[in-house]
Every structure is written in C-alpha cells, then in structure tokens.
Amino acid sequence: MTQIRLDNAHVPAAMALSYDRNQLKTGIVHLGIGAFHRAHEACYTDAVLAGGDLRWGIVGASLRAADTSLALNPQDGLYCLSIQDGAGERLQIIGAIREVLVGPEDPDRLVQAMAHPDVKIVSLTVTEKGYCHDPATGNLRLDHPDIVHDIANPTRPRSAPGYILAALAVRRANGVPAFTVLTCDNLPANGVTAKKVLEQLANAIDAGLGAYVAQNLACPSTMVDRIVPATTDADRARIAGRLGCEDAWPVVSEPFSQWVIEDDFPLGRPDWGQYGVQFVEDVAPFELMKLRMLNGSHSSIAYLGYLAGRETVSEAMAMPALRQFVGHLMTREVAPTLHVPEGTDLAAYQGDLIARFDNPALRHRTWQIAMDGSQKLPQRLLGTIRDRLQAGQAIDALTLGVAAWMRYVTGVAEDGSAIDVRDPMRAQLADCTARAGMDAGRIVNGLLEIREIFGEDLPKNTAFRQGVEAALAQLIKHGAEKTVEDFAARFSNPAV
Ligand code: CS2
C-alpha cells in the first residue's frame, strides 16, 4: 500500500504551521544537517518563524552523503519532531528547513547559496572531526586530505571550513559583508576554535583572505544541549501511524533543550531569546559544565556500558554500580573543576542529567556515543584530568573512563566478537592495539604515543599513566561489569 507522504500539501490538519512557507527568505545556511540540528536550531528557528519574522528560513547542506536530501526534499523540507519522555510522545511538524543541498553533488550551488546577501548566518553541526583540526592543540591539520584538497581547489571545496571560505571570498568580491559563523558542535570554545581553523586555512589559500577573516569574521561561541538519538525504523513506523502520512526521516528527542550563545551577530539574528535561548557575554562556564558533566559522563557510560553488553544509555544506567560510578565522576571529580555560571545549582543540574540519561523512551545507543572517541576524549575527560592532576587531586573515575575507551578501541568485545569502531583515527588506533595484543601496559604505551589526543604532557605524567594502565588491566582481566562493581564498592566505603 502506498502511503501519502508528508509535504506542503499533506500536513495533518491538527499540526498545520501557523506561517506561510512561501513567504520565507533564507537567512541561515546550515552545514551538517543531521538529526541534532533538526531537533535544536531548526526548532528554535521554527518558533521565530511562527512568531512572524519570516527572514530566517534555513537551507541545510550535507557535506557527504545525500541521504538527508533524498528524505527531506520530496517533503518540501518538512519533517516531524517527536519529543519523548517516560510519560508519552508529543509530535510537531517543523517547517524551518526550505531545502537540503548536497555539497559534493554541486559545490558551486552551495557556495552561491551561502554567498547570497539574504544569508546572515552560516551555522554548523559537522561534529568534532569536521573542523579538520588537531584536538589537542586546536590547530588546523594542513595534512588532512580534505584540507590538502581545499587549498588546491578553493572554489570547489570539500571541508566545512573550505566551504565557508569559498563563500566568504565570493561575498568579499561582491561587496557583501561577511555572515556570522555559528558553530553548534561540542567543542571547547567552539567559536574560537572555528575562527582559528578558518584563519589558518584562509592564510594557506591567500594571505588577503586570511587578513579579511581575521578582521571581519564573527564566530560567537555557543553551548548546545539536547539528546537526540539516531532515528530508528520503529520510530518511522510509529510516527507514520500517528501522523497518518509517511515521513522518511523524523527526529526523536528528549523534552530538554538548551542553547547558550555569545551575542555577536554583525548582520543581525533571529530573536531566539524569545523562545528560550540564553544570550551571554561569555559562554565558557556553560560550555565547560556541559562538556565535562554531560558529555564526559556520556562517553564513560558509552564505553563501559557497551563493554558490559548494554545497548542503550538507559540500560547502562540501570546497572546500580555504573550509576554510582557516574555519580562519583560528576560529584567528586568533575564538579570541583568547574566555575559554574552564576545562578546555577550544580547539584540540581547533575540530578537532571541523571534523569535525562534514565529516559527510558530514548533508545540512545552506547555504540552511537562511542563513535569518534579520539576527537571527543580531550574536551570530555582529558581537560578535567589535567586540572585535577595540577591540583594534586584523585582521578580514579576519569581514568576508568579513558581506560574503557582504550579497551573499546582494541576492537574486540568481551565475548570475543568484533566491535565496529568508528573513528577518523581508526587505522592508527587499530595499528597500536593490534601490535599490543591484550596487554594493558603495551596498549597504554601505544595509545599514549598519539599526541593529537593526549598532548605532550599527559603521556609523561606517571600518576595518569599508571592509573589508566591499572584500570585497563582490570577491564581486560575481569570485564567492565565487574570492574565497575569493584569501583563502586571501593568508593562507597571510604575506609577501603
Ligand atoms: C553525545 C552527544 O553522541 C555523543 O557523543 O554525548 O551527542 C550528546 O547527546 C549531546 O551533546 C547532548 O547535548
């Protein structure tokens, strides 16, 4: 049976949009149009459109695969957002995305779209690896294949920084002022990181462009937060049933959503502040709190949970010892390193995080969060470790998180089956771990050699090295479940 497909003519009457999509202008081009953007920025922007300011329609772009464009363009860019908690599901149709372009299919079309004078903001969710930088130093990797390509072909780029510069060069030539670059990735000082990478690439292409970027480009930092697991076929089927029409790619999210932005938009911006976005002078305290508390816990839960055979975060959180470990990590090891934003109740924030991880309606796979660990570890766990080592404080939970990542990237699960390790440094990780066998000392020696992840300092720190090696030896010998139980027993009894 062919079902009706969601599009402009087939929005369920009860969910009709309150604004006329034909009147939209494109004020934002978004690079990396994945599920997160569609449950976050697009949603806040949809509220602005519904409020009557129609200048802020979004053109999305994929820089790799065509799957999102294939799903959304036949639907006029429309899709359903499903918000889920234990109590039920709420559906909403989002109309902010006008069209999805695919960079590799027609790079010039995307560059021209970004160069259009109506576009005031180019936002990004291209994940950590999309910045083509060295996570330990924040410097652009001039040997990254996409960067090598973009320096040789600046008008037909491949990387996100390459697209931004190609469009800025066109705007500059046309006398159109620079858009604001709004990064929405989980990187520390994400705006500063983006600007540094853009300046370095611009200088490698043309010194004049480098100077232009340095002087003219605003890259406000942001903190973004919403848990948005990958959509499953079961989600698609359930949502189609409820909508009465097919949506090829709905997104599923938790109710919680937060966006904190530094207010630096020379060409203006949507009035997102009306709809819950916080504009602040300095995003750093928010960002550090989120990256270390939420993402640091998430990655630790993902590696330990996956190794212990738990498919989702909420299943992992159902292990009492893991729950205790996460509590210890947050309260004892992460919280003391933070300068929390004024007015924040850190204990309440932590309690809310535990409740969010517990959300039984979200099937957030540990395997999904385990991806790209080489790009995530530095800001999620290693920065906290550095601060604590400097203060002479214990790092037991943090080192167990790092050791679990090391055990995970051996690529062999506890039952002997293969782990599908997804990581841009996968070949290098596999090479290190294959040579080391299942010997904790040798694995630690090999992986700590990767300075792009661990920097120059951590490999030299004996407390860190020994802590990780001891935790890894335990994980290899006893498995993750028993190791976490031992951890919980050790720390619930201060006398031991
Ligand atoms: C997760 C994040 O996949 C991951 O690495 O830790 O995507 C997390 O769900 C978001 O940052 C929550 O805001």
Give the position, in ligand 1's atom list, of the atom nearest the Cα of 372.
Answer: 5
Whether 24 is in a domain gets the answer yes
Does the beta carbon of 298 sit less than 6 angstroms from any atom of ligand 1? yes
- State phi, psi for 80 to the nearest 5 degrees: -105, 135
What is the pTM assigned to this prediction? Answer: 0.96
Picking from 250, 280, 310, the residue at the C-terminal end of a domain is 280
Whether 4 is in a domain gets the answer no
Does the beta carbon of 433 sit less than 6 angstroms from any atom of ligand 1? no
* 39 C-alpha to ligand 1 centroid (Å): 13
- State phi, psi for 52 to the nearest 5 degrees: 110, -5
Picking from 223, 258, 280, the residue at the C-terminal end of a domain is 280
Q: Whose CA is nearest to atom 3 of ligand 1?
A: 369
* 225 C-alpha to ligand 1 centroid (Å): 8
Assign residue 32 the CATH number of its domain: 3.40.50.720
Give the position, in ligand 1's atom list, of the atom nearest the Cα of 295.
Answer: 6
Query: What was the pLDDT predicted at 496?
Result: 41
Q: Whose CA is nearest to atom 10 of ligand 1?
A: 227
Do 333 and 184 reside in the same domain of the chain?
no
Residue 81 DSSP label: E
Does the beta carbon of 372 sit less than 6 angstroms from any atom of ligand 1? no
Whether 316 is in a domain gets the answer yes
Give the position, in ligand 1's atom list, of the atom nearest the Cα of 369.
Answer: 3
Do 122 and 227 reside in the same domain of the chain?
yes
Do 217 and 289 reside in the same domain of the chain?
no
Whether 322 is in a domain gets the answer yes
Q: What residues are paired with 94 via a beta bridge?
A: 79
Do 134 and 203 reside in the same domain of the chain?
yes
Assign residue 369 the CATH number of its domain: 1.10.1040.10
* 369 C-alpha to ligand 1 centroid (Å): 7
Whether 495 is in a domain gets the answer no
Containing structural domain, residue 453 = 284-490
Whether 374 is in a domain gets the answer yes
Among 126, 289, 292, 295, say which to mutate for ligand 1: greatest number of ligand atoms within 8 Å of CB. Answer: 295
Q: Identity (one letter) of the amino acid at 77?
A: G
Query: What was the pLDDT predicted at 187?
Result: 93
183-to-212, 240, 275 alpha-carbon distances in Å? 19, 32, 19
Does the beta carbon of 227 sit less than 6 angstroms from any atom of ligand 1? yes
Q: Whose CA is nearest to atom 5 of ligand 1?
A: 369
Does the beta carbon of 133 sit less than 6 angstroms from any atom of ligand 1? no
Name the helix (H) or strand (E) containing 252: strand 251-253
Picking from 280, 296, 325, the residue at the C-terminal end of a domain is 280
44-to-48, 51, 206, 271, 344 alpha-carbon distances in Å? 7, 11, 37, 9, 23
Among 291, 362, 369, 422, say which to mutate for ligand 1: greatest number of ligand atoms within 8 Å of CB. Answer: 369
3-state SS, residue 251: strand
Do 155 and 76 reside in the same domain of the chain?
yes
Q: Which is nearest to 195 in space by CA: 212, 171, 177?
A: 212
* 295 C-alpha to ligand 1 centroid (Å): 6
Q: In this structure, what token pair is assigned to residue 110?
A: 């995307």
Do 157 and 229 reside in the same domain of the chain?
yes
Question: How many domains are there within the chain?
Answer: 2
Do 49 and 111 reside in the same domain of the chain?
yes
Do 368 and 470 reside in the same domain of the chain?
yes
Whether 6 is in a domain gets the answer no
Does the beta carbon of 225 sit less than 6 angstroms from any atom of ligand 1? yes
3-state SS, residue 354: helix
Q: Which is nearest to 188 in space by CA: 101, 258, 284, 95?
A: 284
329-to-89, 132, 220 alpha-carbon distances in Å? 31, 30, 30
In tens digits, the chain (496 residues) has pLDDT values of 558 999 999 999 999 999 999 999 999 999 999 999 999 999 999 999 999 999 999 999 999 999 999 999 999 999 999 999 888 999 999 999 999 999 999 999 999 999 999 999 999 999 999 999 998 889 999 999 999 999 999 999 999 999 999 999 999 999 999 999 999 999 999 999 999 999 999 999 999 999 999 999 999 999 999 999 999 999 999 999 999 999 999 999 999 999 999 999 999 999 999 999 999 999 999 999 999 999 999 999 999 999 999 999 999 999 999 999 999 999 999 999 999 998 999 999 999 999 999 999 999 999 999 999 999 999 999 999 999 999 999 999 999 999 999 999 999 999 999 999 999 999 999 999 999 999 999 999 999 999 999 999 999 999 999 999 999 999 999 999 999 999 999 998 655 4
Do 89 and 192 reside in the same domain of the chain?
yes
Q: Whose CA is nearest to atom 6 of ligand 1?
A: 295
Does the beta carbon of 295 sit less than 6 angstroms from any atom of ligand 1? yes
Do 341 and 481 reside in the same domain of the chain?
yes
* 200 C-alpha to ligand 1 centroid (Å): 28
Does the beta carbon of 226 sit less than 6 angstroms from any atom of ligand 1? yes
Residue 334 DSSP label: I
Do 204 and 328 reside in the same domain of the chain?
no
Q: Identity (one letter) of the amino acid at 223?
A: M
Whether 155 is in a domain gets the answer yes
Do 321 and 227 reside in the same domain of the chain?
no
